[in-house]
Amino acid sequence: ESGCLTGDALLQDARTGRRISIKELAQRNSHEPLEVIALNEEFQLGGHTLVKAFYSGRKQVFELQTRSGRRIKASANHPFLKLEGWTALESLKIGDRIAIPRKLQIQKPDNPLSKDELILLAHLIGDGCILPKQPYHYTSADLENIEIVNKTADQLFGIKGKVIQQENWWHTYLKCPFQLTHGRKHPITEWYDQLGLERVRSYAKKVPNGVFRCDNDRIALFLRHLWATDGNISWKKLKGRKPAGAIYYASSSQALTEQVQHLLCRLGIQSTIRLVAQGKYRNNFHLHIQGTESQLQFLTKVGCHGERGAIIPEMAKALRDIVANPNTDVIPKEAWRYFIEPAMKANKLSWRGLFRQMSQQFSSSIYKNGISRDRLNRINEILKDDHLTKLSNSDIVWDEIVNLAALGEEDVYDATIEGVHNFVANDVIVHNSIEQDADIVAFIYRPEYYDILEDEEGQSLKGIAEVIVAKHRHGALKTVRLRFTDEFARFSDLDDPDFGNLPSDTFESPQSNIITRPSKMNDDEDIPF
């Protein structure tokens, strides 16, 4: 039976970058093929054809959460990719590592938002107050931010921002440039409506879909100005250690934080979401960029507008002098057994022989730890194994499961992807449907066929068959026990009084002029039931 996802699981149009829920895909009137991001046999991500998405009924669902902060809700039998292969959620445990994308590449972003729109939008999402029946305004302690908001608001909508200075910050009020009469809206209201954005408080803010349809340069521009609002770039001083870079974005909106994480993944920058409790106030969500490589990528590709970005040249220089810690991106420890050991045997090498060629001391504790890509590449210089090459060059990050929680029953959906049979949902790689859009999936199980002649209680299973209804789009799931007569391929109820009373020749007839020849259909050794 196929596993399923809840309707809010987000897939991505591989051509434009637009994010679409699986429920929306299932309900669309057009079923034209759509390219979504999926993983091929070489562990590379790319566009693959989604043939169909469909409703699969109601099921008990569970929320899976990873250390990086990815969250996805799925049925117990939905498969996720471990190093050993596809594994149903019900067989996963905390500490297991599953595949998530390293980078999401889009084929042809159509850039529906101008650069000025992206700049203004980033600032208003971060520190703007755009609420119904309230004056629209923006607040910042950085005058450079106030100036760029006023400049873009004027260029886009003719709005002349009115700046008011407080103790150590400024407000700029974005008053409508014309008289609001019946049928006319504030230009920012009109703009938000076009973007599909609601005018809400900070904890409910989101990034509109238009941003996801932008190319990487424009996404970096958007993030550069968003970081100028609620982002942080500073030195973290630790006792007895060299200062470390602290780069994070803070928001009370979990949805917004997850969207920013997705945008960073578009740029190939890995990040981690952490919940920060605020006591009696709303929780905050901090999106951290950790590790020398990711921090350098952020500082060089994204950066930060205004005063907060002044530290970037100094920090980037310091990070370049630091030896990167490879433990932030490791391949699960199972790689030693499942990939490296078979490659060694093919090369007729022992563990000690392998480590001797690497000029390293062998230790039996290697099985207890994951392996960095750099180390795997050095091993593969000796073993020259195609599987190891695929693994070390993959588009995958192996993310640790930190929580699995039951949520109750919900409507669930599935999809069929041509060829590769998987897709990326909520930035997690998941398996797709195995039965496409079937209304019913049923199996016939005959223990006797497999030489199982008794059940666990010692009861005879001779002549017993089970019809297992594993999926029923419009009804219940059930297993029905029947009697089976193999010589006649006949099923009947267990309490059928006529069972076994078939005539010795079921084709006998009083019509002597009819000749019945034996069927050639079942000449195979195995009875097809």
pLDDT digits (tens, 9 = 90+) for 257-280: 999 999 999 999 999 999 998 888
Name which of 218, 199, 202, 200 is nearest 210 in CA terms.
Answer: 218
* pLDDT higher than 80, residue 453: no
The confidence score (pLDDT) of residue 37 equals 98
> Residue ranges of the alpha helices (H) in 37-131?
115-127
The confidence score (pLDDT) of residue 456 equals 56
Query: Check: CATH 3.10.28.10 for 115-232+248-303?
Result: yes
* pLDDT higher than 70, residue 425: yes
Q: Which residue has the tokens 């001083």?
A: 237
The confidence score (pLDDT) of residue 476 equals 52
The answer to whether the CB of 471 falls within 8 A of the CB of 120 is: no
How far is 304 from 455, CA to CA, in rounded Å?
68
Taking every pair of Cα atoms in the chain, the longest distance, rounded to a whole number of angstroms, is: 111
The amino acid present at 419, given as its one-letter code, is: G
Lowest mean pLDDT among 52-61, 306-315, 411-420, 453-462: 453-462
* pLDDT higher than 50, residue 516: no
The confidence score (pLDDT) of residue 504 equals 46
The confidence score (pLDDT) of residue 239 equals 80
pLDDT-derived band of residue 400, with 50, 70 and 90 as boundaries?
very high
Q: Tell me which range, 12-16, 338-342, 486-490, is most confidently predicted by mean pLDDT.
A: 12-16
User: For 489-495, which contacts have Cβ atoms below 8 Å and span 24 or more sequence positions?
Assistant: 489/522, 489/527, 489/528, 489/529, 491/465, 491/467
Number of H helices, E strands in the chain: 14, 26
* pLDDT higher than 50, residue 147: yes
Averaged pLDDT, 192-213: 98
Averaged pLDDT, 454-479: 66
Q: Is 69 helix (H, G, I), strand (E, B) or coil?
A: coil
The confidence score (pLDDT) of residue 261 equals 99
Q: Count CB atoms within 10 A of the CB of residue 243.
A: 12
Mean pLDDT (the chain) is 87
The confidence score (pLDDT) of residue 160 equals 97
Averaged pLDDT, 312-335: 84
Sequence spans of domains, the chain: 5-102+397-431, 115-232+248-303, 327-393, 439-529
The confidence score (pLDDT) of residue 324 equals 62
Stated length of the chain: 529
Averaged pLDDT, 187-196: 98
The answer to whether the CB of 202 falls within 8 A of the CB of 99 is: no
pLDDT-derived band of residue 468, with 50, 70 and 90 as boundaries?
low
Averaged pLDDT, 246-253: 98
* pLDDT higher than 60, residue 511: no
> Mind listing the pLDDT tens digit for each residue in 76-92?
999 999 999 999 999 99
β-strand partners of 164: 171
The model's pTM is 0.81
CATH of domain 5-102+397-431: 2.170.16.10
Lowest mean pLDDT among 148-157, 246-255, 500-509: 500-509
The amino acid present at 24, given as its one-letter code, is: E
pLDDT-derived band of residue 507, with 50, 70 and 90 as boundaries?
very low
User: For 310-313, which contacts have Cβ atoms below 8 Å and span 24 or more sequence positions?
Assistant: 311/233, 311/234, 311/235, 312/233
The confidence score (pLDDT) of residue 237 equals 84
Higher-pLDDT residue of 109 and 444 is 109
> Mind listing the pLDDT tens digit for each residue in 228-238?
999 999 998 87
β-strand partners of 250: 286
pLDDT-derived band of residue 524, with 50, 70 and 90 as boundaries?
very low
Tokens representing 56 are 């699969």
Tokens representing 12 are 């991505």
Higher-pLDDT residue of 110 and 521 is 110
Percent of the chain with pLDDT over 70: 85
The confidence score (pLDDT) of residue 458 equals 67
The confidence score (pLDDT) of residue 518 equals 43
* pLDDT higher than 50, residue 508: no
Tokens representing 150 are 């006023």
> Mind listing the pLDDT tens digit for each residue in 16-67?
999 999 999 999 887 777 999 999 999 999 999 999 999 999 999 999 999 9
Percent of the chain with pLDDT over 90: 69
Q: Count CB atoms within 10 A of the CB of residue 512.
A: 6
pLDDT-derived band of residue 366, with 50, 70 and 90 as boundaries?
confident
How far is 349 from 2, CA to CA, in rounded Å?
41
* pLDDT higher than 70, residue 512: no
Q: Which residue has the tokens 């602290």?
A: 246
Name which of 413, 507, 300 is nearest 22 in CA terms.
Answer: 413
The secondary structure element, H or E, covering residue 298 is helix 292-301
pLDDT-derived band of residue 2, with 50, 70 and 90 as boundaries?
low
- Return the sign of the alpha-carbon dihedral for residues 314, 318, 321, 326: negative
Lowest mean pLDDT among 66-75, 282-291, 433-442, 515-524: 515-524
Tokens representing 119 are 């700049």
